[in-house]
């Protein structure tokens, strides 16, 4: 008898709260809320956008920062 294996689909992303990878799930009944099965945190797409905006500011600064020579 053959055994079925679960196929996991999605994106390898880290939780905004605990940073665990591949534990974030999207509720199909509320596609605006993410849930982390590791730390039980919930966050929204807007929370993710805000975090990306903060990282974007740092990356933009890095693109223009002068090299530090030792």
Structure tokens at 36: 């982390």
Q: Which domain holds residue 53?
A: 24-63
Return phi, psi of residue 46, to 5°.
Answer: -65, -35
10 is a domain residue: no
Q: What is the largest CA-CA distance in the chain?
A: 65
19 is a domain residue: no
d(CA 69, CA 50): 33
Helical residues (DSSP H) of 16-67, grouped into ranges: 45-64
Per residue in 35-44, pLDDT (tens digit) is 999 999 999 9
Residue 4 confidence class, pLDDT cut points 50, 70, 90: low
Structure tokens at 23: 């534990």
4 is a domain residue: no
Per residue in 7-64, pLDDT (tens digit) is 556 678 999 999 998 889 887 888 889 999 999 999 999 999 999 999 999 999 999 9
């Amino acid at each position: 008898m053959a055994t079925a294996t679960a196929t996991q689909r999605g994106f390898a992303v880290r939780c905004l709260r605990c940073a665990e990878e591949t534990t974030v799930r999207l509720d199909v009944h509320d596609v605006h809320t993410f849930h982390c099965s590791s730390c039980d945190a919930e966050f929204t797409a807007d929370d993710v956008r805000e975090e990306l905006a903060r990282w974007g500011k740092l990356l933009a600064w890095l693109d223009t920062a002068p090299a530090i020579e030792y």
